[in-house]
Structure 1
Amino acid sequence: MKKIGFLSFGHWSPGQGSQTRSASDVLLQSIDLAVAAEELGADGAYFRVHHFARQLASPFPLLAAIGARTKRIEIGTGVIDMRYENPFYMVEDAGAADLISGGRLQLGISRGSPEQVIEGWRHFGYAPPEGESQADMGRRHGEVFFELLKGRGFAQPNPRPMFANPPGLLRLEPHAEGLRERIWWGSASDATAVWAAQKGMNLQTSTLKADESGEPLGVQQARQIRKFKAAWKEAGHAREPRVSVSRSIFPLLNDTDRAYFGRDQGGDHIGVIDDMRAIFGRSYAAEPDRLFEQLRADEAIAEADTLLLTVPNQLGVDYNAHVIEGILTHVAPVLGWR
């Protein structure tokens, strides 16, 4: 059994055929798609975060709005770029959104992805000190955020406060109990997956990864996940971790599906991203009987407990709900995912 959710990149543009022509369109349709996905029986609604781009950039208002409109579905990110984040302010935002949702936030965080601008985090007031890389800074911000979520007091109270304080040192409020166990680290390498396990974060692995062996993406990610689980066990954490993989999967059920995605998708691709040799995962698009065999061969999906389906959000809520329903109805039961 697997949890199955969607992952939206939140694009908008005024181009021909786009159903998301403005930021307002994307935000409102993201809420509507989460509601529709919950009604269809999906387990999660996740969103990418990109700054300086015509995509979703400020996740917490959106997550809180979805939390207020839904009852059951998990609500998350994949991922928040921690190079841009004030961990203290983020704890407050995350706590509020989690309480609004009734404890359903699943926050994917990471050092981030390639940017639209040069060193965009500097415009947000952050820069790595001497001897630290931007990736180190992102991990440091992530560690501070993760530690603050424990809810321990650390700030000396004012002896003459405006409002009465509880005894002892003060923590950030509102505190969301249990949120710390629902933090995921988005990892592109085996080493950072092991690091996340040692820290006690869940693992997100995407449709791309550092090409560390020349093997297919699914093979490399399966090894990455096994290393993560081994490191988790060695660290002695009390709970079981969660692991998600992201995939582009389109069952071809009608002529519209075939028009959009019916061409041969080919295999994985190799490229360079942030000076790193990376492998980019293929899209799976076929009639269900062929799709079953292709997905059975994906070792990483087999290793993960959560599958995030990347959706073409610019095609609108109705079409994306159709894609999600097609997978939940025609694909997941046959493969034993539901």
Structure 2
Amino acid sequence: MARSSAPLRRLGFLTMGLFDPEEPAAGHEATLQLIELGERLGFDSAWLRHRHLQFGISSPVAVLAAATQRTKRIALGTAVTPLGAENPFRLAEDLGTVDVLSGGRLLPGFSTGEPMRFDAFKHAIYPSTLDQEDLGYDRVLRLRSFIRGDVVSDSAGREGQEDYSSRVEPHADGLAERLWYGAGSLRSAGWAGEHSFNLLTSSVIAAEDGTTDFAANQAAQVRRFRELHPAGERARVSQGLVVIPTDSATASQRARYHEYVESRRHRVGVAHGPRRMLFAEDLVGSSAEIAERLHEHAGFQEVDEVAFALPFTLEPDDYTQLLTDIAGALGPALGWRPAADGESRPA
């Protein structure tokens, strides 16, 4: 069902959190300040990408733990954490801890299968057990079981002066219902719906409906997800396109933004690799122009919440300008309103 006339209910942003390898603390601090800015501007959520062997955030859960102590309202997510590089038991403990610290604001997003560039580090993680690891869907189901509080030990009770639990602790009530799956194909979108996850659909998906039209493919995946989800049309989907509003940008910023978009334009409209992956076009221009293009986008017409992705390689002042324009102009043009001071919206 097309939703192009429905107002945008939730607005978030996604960042990679780049840092200088010679001074990593400054980059991590800049990301925390960006999340604080997002809360002041009324954004509903802030999401962190997860990168390995790069100069971008490799431990989003740790960064979000810090963010819980510097924010009060904004929801905090990962988009996405590749579970092939994680121990589900230990990750469940970390996620429960951060959700408790946040007061129930965590939105963990995951993917399964081999992480990006897995060959570069798989033996560092699994030096002798890689062939025994299941990197598929069962891994995320096991993680959800731990988060949900299912029994993992039959030795609960008191031993000496210490008490032991039968479930992963700390247990964060409600967190299991706030898990997101990052799907990029009809099959994975359908699996996420059938298993009652929320859906993250990004700017990179597979071409499967006989066309290289990104929006048409994305819309088909969202519809498949909702067809199989028990909640049907009420099932939550968040879209993550790259948007670059220029309303308050300086001339030099606009030139740099357009150069960035042009450097990536060759990827658009072409199916890449054996999996036939499609890249969405980056949307740059005034908020009014971007809003018009989004209303015409078949994928956007299927959603009422977004986590717009910020470009990778900009400066802190650029991100401040982009977030300010997204919250102050683009969001309202899409029917969204910023959260007021003290207002609490469900994560």
Normalized against structure 2, the TM-score is what? 0.85
Go from structure 1 to structure 2 and tell me whether the alpha carbon gap of 1:163 and 1:327 turns closer, same or farther (over 3 Å shift). Answer: same
Superposition pairs of residues 236-315 of structure 1, within 5 angstroms: 240-253=234-247, 254=249, 255-262=251-258, 265=262, 268-272=268-272, 275-312=274-311, 314-315=313-314
Taking the aligned partners of 1:29 and 1:280, their CA distance within structure 2 comes to 28
Query: Deviation at 1:147?
Result: 1.2
Report sequence identity in percent: 29
Query: Deviation at 1:252?
Result: 1.7
Go from structure 1 to structure 2 and tell me whether the alpha carbon gap of 1:190 and 1:117 turns closer, same or farther (over 3 Å shift). Answer: closer
Query: Deviation at 1:34?
Result: 0.2
User: Is the Cα contact below 8 Å between 1:75 and 1:104 reproduced in 2?
Assistant: yes
Go from structure 1 to structure 2 and tell me whether the alpha carbon gap of 1:82 and 1:286 turns closer, same or farther (over 3 Å shift). Answer: same
User: Is the Cα contact below 8 Å between 2:110 and 2:182 reproduced in 1?
Assistant: yes
Go from structure 1 to structure 2 and tell me whether the alpha carbon gap of 1:171 and 1:33 turns closer, same or farther (over 3 Å shift). Answer: same
Taking the aligned partners of 2:288 and 2:196, their CA distance within structure 1 comes to 39
Query: How many corresponding residue pairs?
Result: 321
Query: Deviation at 1:194?
Result: 0.8
Amino acid corresponding to residue 10 of structure 1 in structure 2: G
3-state SS of 1:333 partner: helix
Match of 1:18 in 2: none
User: Is the Cα contact below 8 Å between 2:214 and 2:278 reproduced in 1?
Assistant: yes
Amino acid corresponding to residue 2 of structure 1 in structure 2: R
1:335 has 2:334 as partner: yes
Query: Deviation at 1:302?
Result: 2.2
Match of 2:130 in 1: 127
The CA deviation string for residues 276-329 of structure 1, in whole angstroms up to 9 with x for no partner, is 111000100013343232121112122123211211354333321210111222
Taking the aligned partners of 1:248 and 1:115, their CA distance within structure 2 comes to 20
Go from structure 1 to structure 2 and tell me whether the alpha carbon gap of 1:309 and 1:279 turns closer, same or farther (over 3 Å shift). Answer: same
3-state SS of 1:71 partner: coil
Structure 2 residue ranges without an equivalent (≥5): 1-7, 338-347
Superposition pairs of residues 26-105 of structure 1, within 5 angstroms: 26-105=27-106
Taking the aligned partners of 2:114 and 2:244, their CA distance within structure 1 comes to 25
Taking the aligned partners of 1:128 and 1:196, their CA distance within structure 2 comes to 25
The CA deviation string for residues 77-125 of structure 1, in whole angstroms up to 9 with x for no partner, is 0000101111110110000001111110001100267534516333212
User: Is the Cα contact below 8 Å between 1:37 and 1:321 reproduced in 2?
Assistant: no
Go from structure 1 to structure 2 and tell me whether the alpha carbon gap of 1:262 and 1:51 turns closer, same or farther (over 3 Å shift). Answer: closer
1:156 has 2:167 as partner: no
Match of 2:203 in 1: 207
User: Is the Cα contact below 8 Å between 2:114 and 2:135 reproduced in 1?
Assistant: no
User: Is the Cα contact below 8 Å between 1:193 and 1:227 reproduced in 2?
Assistant: yes
Amino acid corresponding to residue 218 of structure 2 in structure 1: Q
* Larger displacement relative to structure 2 (306-315 or 222-231): 306-315
Taking the aligned partners of 2:271 and 2:220, their CA distance within structure 1 comes to 21
3-state SS of 1:276 partner: coil
Match of 1:197 in 2: 193
Taking the aligned partners of 1:206 and 1:65, their CA distance within structure 2 comes to 26
Taking the aligned partners of 1:111 and 1:22, their CA distance within structure 2 comes to 32
Go from structure 1 to structure 2 and tell me whether the alpha carbon gap of 1:102 and 1:322 turns closer, same or farther (over 3 Å shift). Answer: same
Taking the aligned partners of 1:294 and 1:157, their CA distance within structure 2 comes to 58
Taking the aligned partners of 1:163 and 1:200, their CA distance within structure 2 comes to 40
Taking the aligned partners of 1:112 and 1:323, their CA distance within structure 2 comes to 33
Q: Which has the higher contact order (CA 8 A, sep 6+)?
A: 2
Match of 1:186 in 2: 182
Structure 1 residue ranges without an equivalent (≥5): 15-20
Taking the aligned partners of 1:162 and 1:153, their CA distance within structure 2 comes to 22
Query: Deviation at 1:330?
Result: 1.6
3-state SS of 2:270 partner: strand
Go from structure 1 to structure 2 and tell me whether the alpha carbon gap of 1:270 and 1:24 turns closer, same or farther (over 3 Å shift). Answer: farther
User: Is the Cα contact below 8 Å between 2:112 and 2:136 reproduced in 1?
Assistant: yes
Go from structure 1 to structure 2 and tell me whether the alpha carbon gap of 1:2 and 1:71 turns closer, same or farther (over 3 Å shift). Answer: same
Superposition pairs of residues 320-331 of structure 1, within 5 angstroms: 320-331=319-330
1:109 has 2:103 as partner: no
User: Is the Cα contact below 8 Å between 1:80 and 1:112 reproduced in 2?
Assistant: no
Match of 1:7 in 2: 14
1:23 has 2:19 as partner: no
Match of 2:223 in 1: 226
Match of 2:343 in 1: none
User: Is the Cα contact below 8 Å between 2:189 and 2:199 reproduced in 1?
Assistant: yes
Amino acid corresponding to residue 29 of structure 2 in structure 1: L
Match of 1:17 in 2: none
* Larger displacement relative to structure 2 (303-312 or 257-266): 257-266
* Larger displacement relative to structure 2 (294-303 or 254-263): 254-263
Amino acid corresponding to residue 157 of structure 1 in structure 2: S
Go from structure 1 to structure 2 and tell me whether the alpha carbon gap of 1:138 and 1:48 turns closer, same or farther (over 3 Å shift). Answer: farther
Go from structure 1 to structure 2 and tell me whether the alpha carbon gap of 1:162 and 1:85 turns closer, same or farther (over 3 Å shift). Answer: farther
